[in-house]
C-alpha cells in the first residue's frame, strides 16, 4: 500500500520504521532545535494540496483557503514551513517542529526573525514567560495519568470522587498559560497532543492572540493610496457572564471573534473601506479589543475541577470602571452615534453631537483642520455648516487613537486608521508586545508626554503642560498623567494671554477635565509671584510626598474586600459612596488607621489628619472642618470675589464664565480675573464628572490628591484678584486673613518667562 505526496513515495511500514528510529510517532512534539537538526522541507503545495486541503482552523475557516489569500502569503510570500518548520518527517503522523507555532516558530519566519524588535520585546514580557514560570507542568511533576494535586491536596472533579489527572490539570492551566496549543484526546480519554511526556514550556505565544493563517486583510480606504491592514485575531469561546474561556459552565457562551476583534464589520464602514452612515444602528459601531484579553484576564472555571480559576477578574473590574464605561460623556459624545448612549440623568446624548466620529478616521492626516483632512478623506467631518476635527481630542477620547499619540506617530504614515468606537481599553495602557524600560506589567510609556503648539508657544517632550519635567518617580503611572493633566496650564495661559504683547480679553482658556495626575505632582495650576516690593518674588508651592510615593495605582488600584472598588475599577468609593477603599491609607507608615472606612454620613468629607495637615480654619467660616469642606469653602470665597468682578461662574454650563445677570460668555477679562478663573476651573474640574454642580460641595478629589497645592493656588488667586477689585464686598475676608493659614511650600513658582539674571516676569 502506497501513499503519494508529490515526488515522495513512502511505504507506511518504511515510514513507521523511519519515524520510530528518528523523530518518534507524535506529530505534536516540539523539537529541541538547539540540539536536533530540523527536518527538510517539502513545500506548501504538499501541505495544502493533500493533507490539509479541508482542514479548518479555530474560526472554522479552511486553512488552505485563508492562508492562500492572507497577508502572510500576499505580502511576504510566507510558506507553511516558514512558520511550522520542515515537514519532511511529518506526513500527518510524524513530528513537525512547530505544530502550534510558539514565539520561536514566529521568530523563525521571514518577518519576525529573532533580531526584530517585535520578537525580542515580546520574549522579555510576562506573556513570553522569559523565566519559565510557572513550572513546566504547573507543579504536577509530570503530565501523566496520576492524580493532580494543588499545594499537596488531591484535586477531584465536581463529584468529589473522580480524580483530575496531572495531564488534565496541565490542560486546565494551559488554556491561559499555553493557549497557543490545542489539546486532543484518544477515545480512551488519554491526552495524545501535546504529548504528556513532552509538554511545551508555558508561554502566551503569538498564536494565542493572532490568527496565524489569516492575521489581517488588506483594505482599501478612500483616505490612503495604499491599502491598510485590517487585523484578525484568534477565536475564543468564553463564558458570557464571567468572561474567561471555559468548557463546562451552564451560562451561555459567546464567540468573541466572528470575523475580527479590533475593527467592526457591522456599522458605517463597508467591506471596501468606504462609509455608509445609514448602516449605523444604535451602538453597532463599537469595537471590543478588551474581549481578547478577557479570554484569560477574567475569572473563569477550571475545565475539569469545576472550581473558580485563581486569576484576578480584571475584565469585570474594567467593565465597571470609568475607563470602560461606553455611556460616559468622554466616549459617548465621540461615538459614531451619540444618541445611542445614555447620560447620567437618563437622557440620550444629542445626535449628531459636535464631537461625533465618522469612520474610517485616518490618524495619518493632518491633526489640524487643514489641508488633507476633510469629510471625504476623513480627519474631519461636517456638523451643520462647520467642519469638525476631533483628532487632537482622540489623544484621550479614543482608546486606539491614544496609542498613536503615545508613540508620537499621529499625523504620519505610521498612524493607524480608526474603524470604530472604543473606550480606554486594555491595549491603551498596556503594550502586549513589550515592556517599556523602567516599567512593569507591560505598561506603556509615552514617547512624548506633552506636545503643545500655538502661535505664542510651542514645546514637546517628557514634560507636564507647564513645560517642567515629569519625574521618573511617576513610573508606571506616567501613562495616567498622559491624559489626566488637562490640556492647558498656567504656563500656556501666561504665554497665550498674560505675557506682554498678548490679548487678555476674549474667550476663556479652559484647563479641561480631570487634571488630577498633574495635581498630584503640584503642576499645571497658575502659579504666582509676590510683586508688593516692586520685584517679582516667587510664591512657594508644595505637595504631599507620601501621596506621590503611593502614586495613582497605590490608591486607585489598592485591593479591597468590597466588590466594585479597587483593582481595575480604579474606584476609591463604592458606587453609592458609602464605602471608602482606605486599605492603602491606613498602613502604619501613613494614616495608621485614622482614615474612615465609610462616607455614608460624610465621614470622609470630615476627615483631617494631624500627621499631614494642621487644624486650621482655612475658609475662615469659624469652624474647623474636614479638609475637603475647607477647600470647598475657599472655592466659594473666590467665586464670590469673581461675582464682585461682574463674573458669574457655573461649572456645569459651557463656557462656565458669564457676564453677571446674563447668559453671555464673559470676555472682558483682565489679568487677575483670568488667572483666578483658570485656577478655580482647574480645581473644580479636577473632580470626576457628576450630574450635579460641584460648587460648594466638599472637594474630596482636591483634598486627597494635593490639598496643599490646591489651597495655595486658591488663596493666591484670591489675593491677586482682591487687590485688583474695586470695593470688594465687606463680607469677604482680606487676603492677609486668608493667607495667614496658607500651607507652606517646598518649591518656587514655575518661572513662565525668565528675565535677565534669572528673575521673574512681573506680570506673573
Contact status, residue 492 vs residue 460, Cβ threshold 8 Å: no
Q: Strand pairing partners for 191?
A: 185
Q: Looking at residues 483-505, what average pLDDT do you find?
A: 97
Over the chain, what is the mean pLDDT?
Answer: 83
Long-range contacts of residues 641-647, Cβ cutoff 8 Å, at least 24 apart: 641/676, 641/718, 641/721, 641/722, 641/725, 641/728, 641/729, 641/732, 642/673, 642/676, 642/677, 642/680, 642/721, 644/725, 644/728, 644/729, 644/732, 645/673, 645/721, 645/725, 647/673, 647/677
Mean pLDDT is lowest, of 350-354, 565-569, 615-619, for: 350-354
pLDDT digits (tens, 9 = 90+) for 547-561: 999 999 999 999 888
Contact status, residue 97 vs residue 30, Cβ threshold 8 Å: yes
Q: Looking at residues 416-445, what average pLDDT do you find?
A: 91
Report how far residue 34's alpha carbon sits from residue 575's, in angstroms, rounded to the nearest whole number. 55
Q: Which residues contact 340 (CB under 8 A, 6 or more apart)?
A: 282, 283, 348, 351
Q: Looking at residues 319-344, what average pLDDT do you find?
A: 92
Residue 524 has pLDDT above 80, yes or no: yes
Residue 132 has pLDDT above 90, yes or no: no
pLDDT digits (tens, 9 = 90+) for 146-159: 999 998 999 999 99
Residue 405 has pLDDT above 50, yes or no: yes
pLDDT digits (tens, 9 = 90+) for 293-304: 888 898 888 888
pLDDT digits (tens, 9 = 90+) for 636-660: 999 999 999 999 999 999 999 999 9
Give the pLDDT of residue 259. 37
Q: Quote the cell numbers at residue 700.
A: 474630596
Q: Quote the cell numbers at residue 85.
A: 518548520
Report how far residue 150's alpha carbon sits from residue 542's, in angstroms, rounded to the nearest whole number. 51
Report how far residue 522's alpha carbon sits from residue 713's, in angstroms, rounded to the nearest whole number. 10
Q: Using pLDDT thresholds of 50, 70 and 90, give the confidence band for residue 370.
A: very low
Give the pLDDT of residue 58. 56
Give the pLDDT of residue 8. 30
Q: Using pLDDT thresholds of 50, 70 and 90, give the confidence band for residue 1.
A: very low
Report how far residue 324's alpha carbon sits from residue 425's, in angstroms, rounded to the nearest whole number. 7
**497 vs 209, more confident:** 497
Give kind and range of the element (H or E) at residue 492: helix 490-493
Helix, strand or coil for residue 640? helix
Residue 629 has pLDDT above 70, yes or no: yes
Report how far residue 136's alpha carbon sits from residue 168's, in angstroms, rounded to the nearest whole number. 14
Burial status of residue 689 (CB atoms within 10 A of its CB: 0-12, 13-18, 19 or more) = middle
**317 vs 110, more confident:** 317
Mean pLDDT is lowest, of 8-22, 57-71, 165-179, for: 8-22
**666 vs 210, more confident:** 666
Q: Looking at residues 339-350, what average pLDDT do you find?
A: 90
Report how far residue 600's alpha carbon sits from residue 343's, in angstroms, rounded to the nearest whole number. 25
Q: Which residue has the cell 491536596?
A: 153
Helix, strand or coil for residue 573? strand
Give kind and range of the element (H or E) at residue 658: strand 657-659
Closest CA to 339 of 394, 391, 286, 281: 281
Give the pLDDT of residue 109. 58
Report how far residue 398's alpha carbon sits from residue 396's, in angstroms, rounded to the nearest whole number. 6
Contact status, residue 597 vs residue 582, Cβ threshold 8 Å: yes
Contact status, residue 519 vs residue 699, Cβ threshold 8 Å: no
Residue 385 has pLDDT above 80, yes or no: no
Residue 509 has pLDDT above 90, yes or no: yes
Q: Using pLDDT thresholds of 50, 70 and 90, give the confidence band for residue 12.
A: very low
Residue 261 has pLDDT above 50, yes or no: no
Q: Looking at residues 326-339, what average pLDDT do you find?
A: 92
Report how far residue 592's alpha carbon sits from residue 104's, in angstroms, rounded to the nearest whole number. 50
Give the pLDDT of residue 7. 30
Residue 395 has pLDDT above 80, yes or no: yes
Contact status, residue 206 vs residue 72, Cβ threshold 8 Å: no
Give the pLDDT of residue 604. 84
Contact status, residue 725 vs residue 608, Cβ threshold 8 Å: no
Q: Looking at residues 398-423, what average pLDDT do you find?
A: 91
Q: By percentage, how much of the chain surpasses pLDDT 90?
A: 41
pLDDT digits (tens, 9 = 90+) for 734-763: 999 999 999 999 999 999 999 988 899 999
Q: Using pLDDT thresholds of 50, 70 and 90, give the confidence band for residue 243.
A: low
Residue 105's alpha-carbon distances to 84, 172, 212, 534, 683, in angstroms, are 6, 24, 11, 72, 53
pTM of the predicted structure, to 2 decimals: 0.90
Mean pLDDT is lowest, of 66-70, 315-319, 569-573, for: 66-70
Give the pLDDT of residue 611. 64
Q: By percentage, how much of the chain surpasses pLDDT 70?
A: 85
Q: Using pLDDT thresholds of 50, 70 and 90, give the confidence band for residue 354.
A: confident
- 154 phi and psi angles, rounded to 5 deg: -60, 145
Report how far residue 663's alpha carbon sits from residue 658's, in angstroms, rounded to the nearest whole number. 6
Mean pLDDT is lowest, of 18-27, 87-96, 233-242, for: 18-27
Give the pLDDT of residue 241. 61
Closest CA to 198 of 152, 136, 290, 285: 136
Give the pLDDT of residue 255. 45
Report how far residue 559's alpha carbon sits from residue 545's, in angstroms, rounded to the nearest whole number. 22
Residue 124 has pLDDT above 50, yes or no: yes
pLDDT digits (tens, 9 = 90+) for 74-89: 777 788 888 888 888 8
Q: Quote the cell numbers at residue 70.
A: 492572507
Report how far residue 455's alpha carbon sits from residue 459's, in angstroms, rounded to the nearest whole number. 11
Concatenated DSSP letters of 377-430: TBS-EEETTEEE--TTTHHHHSTTHHHHHHTT-TTSTTSPEE-SB--S-HHHHB
Mean pLDDT is lowest, of 214-223, 356-365, 469-478, 540-549, for: 214-223
Residue 710's alpha-carbon distances to 627, 647, 686, 744, in angstroms, are 11, 21, 10, 12
- 80 phi and psi angles, rounded to 5 deg: -50, -45
Report how far residue 686's alpha carbon sits from residue 190's, in angstroms, rounded to the nearest whole number. 60
Q: Using pLDDT thresholds of 50, 70 and 90, give the confidence band for residue 45.
A: confident
Report how far residue 415's alpha carbon sits from residue 408's, in angstroms, rounded to the nearest whole number. 9
Give the pLDDT of residue 682. 97
Half-sphere exposure of 80 (CA within 13 A, CB side): 25
Q: Using pLDDT thresholds of 50, 70 and 90, give the confidence band for residue 4.
A: very low
Give helix 671-684 / helix 700-722 axis angle, nearest 10°: 170
Give the pLDDT of residue 15. 34
Give the pLDDT of residue 594. 86
Give kind and range of the element (H or E) at residue 19: helix 12-21
Give the pLDDT of residue 21. 34
Contact status, residue 120 vs residue 114, Cβ threshold 8 Å: yes
- 570 phi and psi angles, rounded to 5 deg: 60, 15
Q: Strand pairing partners for 1?
A: none
Q: Looking at residues 629-639, what average pLDDT do you find?
A: 96
Contact status, residue 465 vs residue 491, Cβ threshold 8 Å: yes
Q: Looking at residues 445-452, what average pLDDT do you find?
A: 94
Q: Using pLDDT thresholds of 50, 70 and 90, give the confidence band for residue 33.
A: low
Q: Strand pairing partners for 409?
A: none
Give the pLDDT of residue 555. 92
Report how far residue 602's alpha carbon sits from residue 262's, in angstroms, rounded to the nearest whole number. 43
pLDDT digits (tens, 9 = 90+) for 683-711: 999 887 676 888 888 988 899 999 999 99
Q: Looking at residues 434-444, what average pLDDT do you find?
A: 90
Give the best-scoring range by mean pLDDT among 240-254, 266-280, 494-508. Answer: 494-508
- 381 phi and psi angles, rounded to 5 deg: -150, 170
Residue 263 has pLDDT above 80, yes or no: no
Q: Which residues contact 572 (CB under 8 A, 6 or more apart)?
A: 555, 556, 565, 580, 581, 704
Give the best-scoring range by mean pLDDT among 172-186, 257-271, 324-338, 367-381. Answer: 324-338
Amino acid at each position: 500500500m502506497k501513499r503519494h505526496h508529490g515526488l515522495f513515495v513512502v511505504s507506511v511500514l518504511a515510514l513507521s520504521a523511519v519515524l520510530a528510529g528518528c523523530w518518534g510517532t507524535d506529530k505534536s512534539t516540539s523539537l529541541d532545535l538547539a540540539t536536533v537538526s530540523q527536518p527538510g522541507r517539502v513545500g506548501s503545495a504538499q501541505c495544502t494540496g493533500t493533507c490539509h486541503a479541508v482542514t479548518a482552523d479555530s474560526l472554522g475557516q479552511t486553512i488552505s483557503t485563508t492562508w492562500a489569500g492572507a497577508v502572510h502569503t500576499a505580502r511576504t510570500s510566507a510558506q507553511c514551513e516558514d512558520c511550522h518548520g520542515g515537514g519532511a518527517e511529518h506526513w500527518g503522523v510524524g513530528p513537525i517542529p512547530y505544530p502550534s507555532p510558539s514565539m520561536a516558530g514566529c521568530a523563525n519566519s521571514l518577518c519576525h526573525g529573532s533580531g526584530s524588535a517585535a520578537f525580542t520585546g515580546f520574549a522579555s514580557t510576562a506573556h513570553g514567560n522569559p523565566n519559565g514560570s510557572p513550572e513546566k507542568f504547573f507543579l504536577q511533576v509530570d503530565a501523566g495519568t496520576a492524580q493532580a494535586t494543588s499545594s499537596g491536596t488531591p484535586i477531584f472533579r465536581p463529584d468529589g470522587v473522580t480524580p483530575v489527572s496531572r495531564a488534565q490539570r496541565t490542560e486546565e492551566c494551559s488554556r491561559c498559560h499555553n493557549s497557543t496549543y490545542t489539546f486532543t484526546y484518544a477515545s480512551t480519554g488519554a491526552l495524545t497532543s501535546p504529548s504528556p511526556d513532552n509538554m511545551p514550556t508555558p508561554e502566551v505565544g503569538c498564536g494565542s492572540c493572532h490568527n496565524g493563517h489569516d492575521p489581517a486583510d488588506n483594505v482599501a480606504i478612500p483616505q490612503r493610496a495604499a491599502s491598510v491592514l485590517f487585523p484578525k485575531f484568534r477565536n475564543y469561546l468564553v463564558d458570557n457572564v464571567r468572561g474567561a474561556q471555559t468548557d463546562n459552565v451552564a451560562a451561555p457562551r459567546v464567540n468573541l471573534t466572528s470575523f475580527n476583534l479590533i475593527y467592526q464589520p457591522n456599522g458605517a464602514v463597508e467591506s471596501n473601506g468606504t462609509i455608509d452612515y445609514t448602516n449605523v444602528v444604535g451602538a453597532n459601531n463599537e469595537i471590543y479589543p478588551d474581549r481578547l484579553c478577557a479570554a484569560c484576564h477574567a475569572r473563569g472555571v477550571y475545565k475539569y475541577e469545576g472550581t473558580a480559576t485563581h486569576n484576578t477578574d480584571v475584565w469585570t473590574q474594567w467593565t465597571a470602571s470609568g475607563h470602560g464605561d461606553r455611556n460616559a460623556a468622554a466616549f459617548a459624545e465621540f461615538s459614531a452615534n451619540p444618541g445611542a448612549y445614555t447620560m447620567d440623568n437618563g437622557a440620550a446624548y444629542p445626535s449628531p453631537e459636535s464631537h461625533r466620529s465618522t469612520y474610517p478616521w485616518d490618524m495619518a492626516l493632518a491633526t489640524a483642520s487643514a489641508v488633507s483632512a476633510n469629510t471625504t478623506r476623513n480627519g474631519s467631518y461636517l456638523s451643520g455648516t462647520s467642519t469638525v476635527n476631533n483628532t487632537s481630542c482622540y489623544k484621550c477620547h479614543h482608546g486606539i487613537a491614544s496609542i498613536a499619540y503615545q508613540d508620537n506617530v499621529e499625523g504620519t504614515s505610521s498612524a493607524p486608521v480608526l474603524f470604530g468606537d472604543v473606550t480606554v481599553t486594555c491595549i491603551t495602557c498596556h503594550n502586549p508586545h513589550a515592556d517599556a524600560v523602567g516599567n512593569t506589567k507591560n505598561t506603556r510609556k509615552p514617547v512624548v508626554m506633552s506636545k503643545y503648539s500655538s502661535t505664542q508657544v510651542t514645546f514637546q517632550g517628557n514634560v507636564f503642560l507647564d513645560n517642567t519635567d515629569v519625574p521618573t518617580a511617576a513610573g508606571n503611572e506616567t501613562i495616567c498623567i498622559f491624559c489626566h493633566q488637562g490640556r492647558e496650564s498656567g504656563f500656556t495661559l501666561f504665554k497665550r494671554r498674560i505675557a506682554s504683547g498678548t490679548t487678555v480679553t476674549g474667550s476663556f482658556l479652559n484647563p479641561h477635565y480631570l487634571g488630577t495626575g498633574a495635581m498630584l505632582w503640584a503642576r499645571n495650576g497658575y502659579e504666582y509671584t509676590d510683586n508688593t516690593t516692586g520685584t517679582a518674588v516667587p510664591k512657594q508651592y508644595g505637595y504631599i510626598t507620601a501621596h506621590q510615593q503611593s502614586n495613582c495605582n497605590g490608591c486607585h488600584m489598592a485591593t479591597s474586600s468590597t466588590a466594585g472598588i479597587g483593582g481595575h475599577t480604579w474606584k476609591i468609593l463604592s458606587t453609592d459612596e458609602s464605602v471608602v477603599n482606605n486599605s492603602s491609607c491606613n498602613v502604619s507608615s501613613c494614616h495608621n488607621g485614622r482614615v474612615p472606612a465609610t462616607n455614608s454620613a460624610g465621614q470622609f468629607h470630615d476627615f483631617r489628619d494631624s500627621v499631614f495637615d494642621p487644624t486650621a480654619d482655612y475658609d475662615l467660616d469659624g469652624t474647623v472642618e474636614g479638609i475637603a469642606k475647607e477647600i470647598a469653602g475657599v472655592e466659594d470665597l473666590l467665586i464670590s470675589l469673581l461675582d464682585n468682578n461682574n463674573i458669574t461662574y457655573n461649572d456645569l454650563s459651557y463656557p462656565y464664565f458669564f457676564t453677571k445677570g446674563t447668559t453671555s460668555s464673559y470676555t472682558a477679562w483682565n489679568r487677575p480675573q483670568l488667572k483666578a478663573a483658570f485656577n478655580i476651573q482647574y480645581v473644580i474640574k479636577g473632580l470626576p464628572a457628576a450630574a450635579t454642580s460641584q460648587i460648594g460641595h466638599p472637594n474630596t478629589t482636591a483634598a486627597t490628591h494635593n490639598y496643599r497645592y490646591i489651597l495655595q493656588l486658591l488663596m493666591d488667586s484670591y489675593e491677586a484678584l482682591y487687590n485688583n477689585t474695586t470695593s470688594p464686598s465687606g463680607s469677604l475676608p482680606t487676603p492677609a486673613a486668608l493667607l495667614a493659614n496658607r500651607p507652606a511650600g517646598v518649591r518656587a513658582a514655575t518661572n513662565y518667562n525668565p528675565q535677565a539674571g534669572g528673575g521673574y516676569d512681573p506680570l506673573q
